[in-house]
Amino acid sequence: QVQLAESGGGLVQPGGSLRLSCAASGFTLDYYNIGWFRQAPGKEREGISCINTVAGYTYYSDSGKGRFTISRDNAKNTVYLQMSTLKPEDTAVYFCAATRSPWAFSCSISATGYDSWGQGTQVTVSS
């Protein structure tokens, strides 16, 4: 059974940083794509970034590019999202998701492309 668990969220002041973790169990990260998504109250789920865990290929949405960095540690079966220069509009529940992928240099930030999801971790950016 594929299980994902997000952690690292919390309350941070504007301009601060957080590192979110997505720990996988029930599988190893080889030949998987992992995506980070967020959903603010009253808003649709938004793709932020994704990574292929074999080649390390990464992709960022316009929202994720610049201030966010995705990375993985296959030995720890964990994918990270480093967030910096946080703004109040970054406040949301952040989810990670996984899907098997036969391609080493491709991933998608479309939520419909993923079939396993974590429960989410709350990020609140406020002074």
Instruction: Supply angle C-alpha 81, 6, 92, rounded to 5.
Output: 70
What letter represents residue 104's amino acid?
A: A
Say which DSSP state 77 is in.
T
Radius of gyration of the chain (CA): 13
**What pLDDT does 103 receive?**
82
Instruction: Supply angle C-alpha 98, 99, 103, rounded to 5.
Output: 125
Per-residue pLDDT of the chain (127 residues; tens, 9 = 90+): 789 999 999 999 999 999 999 999 987 777 899 999 999 999 999 999 999 988 889 999 999 999 999 999 988 999 999 999 999 999 999 999 999 987 878 999 999 999 999 999 999 999 9
Q: Which residues pair with 95 in a beta bridge?
A: 37
